[in-house]
Amino acid sequence: MADPPSPNPSRTPPAAGGWIGVIALLAALLGFWTVQQWRLQALLQQTAAARETHMLTQLVQATLARDAVLAGRLSTVRQDAATSPSSPVAPLGHRLAAAQGQAGLAAVSGVGVTVVLQDAARPSFPGEPAQLQLVHDQYVLHIVGLLSAAGARAISIAGQRYVSTTAIYCAGPTISVNGVTSGSPFVIRAVGQPTRLLAALANDPDVQGWSQLVSIQFHAASQVRVAPLPVMPNLSWLTPAGPHR
């Protein structure tokens, strides 16, 4: 009986050669896909950079155009201000300064008068009450009223600015003005037309009568300065009340 033929070791099975071709093809496809992805990524980055550069260029151009328009407007305003006879803001500034002076929020200087009230230095008459030899708050209030009615633009009492909210009252032998207490002599300064202010004081019968009890001296001054209020007054607006029930 004859032996079966043995296989030839020099021949490669067909199946092994097919797998090698498939693997080589897959490797080629993977390499091609990787290269294409890298190229696509680079293209996207270049496109984004170009788009951003374009947007920034447009933004810069728009900003420059806006700046040019604003510069033209500023030049026109400056030319109008230079050729205008007076600035429209100037009258408002003058009105504000005048209002601040009237409200006591700014110092006021000018010609005016100085009034000095001092407790009596003379010996008292027999049986005369000691109160008659002292300067009282009613003397100060009356003189301030006379000066205001005569056109005083600003008044101070013992260095304290007199305004609509100022409180003046006696505290023993002293007088309190705006919460600040001072003693005799009491100096009142007023900025205004000296002739009118002096006439108002000299022709008042109360001032003439009080001058027999205490010392009241007044004279014109070429330069009077009235300081502003040291503290802003605390004001509140009035509100309508509800209906009465």
Task: Give the list of residues 6+ apart from residue 92 with CB closer than 8 angstroms, or none.
Answer: none
- Domain covering 107-226 in this structure, CATH number: 3.30.70.1880
Helices (H), the chain: 14-83, 89-102, 137-149, 194-202, 205-210
pTM for the whole thing? 0.58
Mean pLDDT of the chain: 80
Confidence of residue 161 (pLDDT cuts 50, 70, 90): very high
The answer to whether the CB of 157 falls within 8 A of the CB of 144 is yes
The answer to whether the CB of 155 falls within 8 A of the CB of 221 is no
Q: Would you state the pLDDT for residue 165? A: 81
Residue appearing with tokens 């006591």:
104
Q: Would you state the pLDDT for residue 151? A: 93
Token pair listed for 55: 């947007």
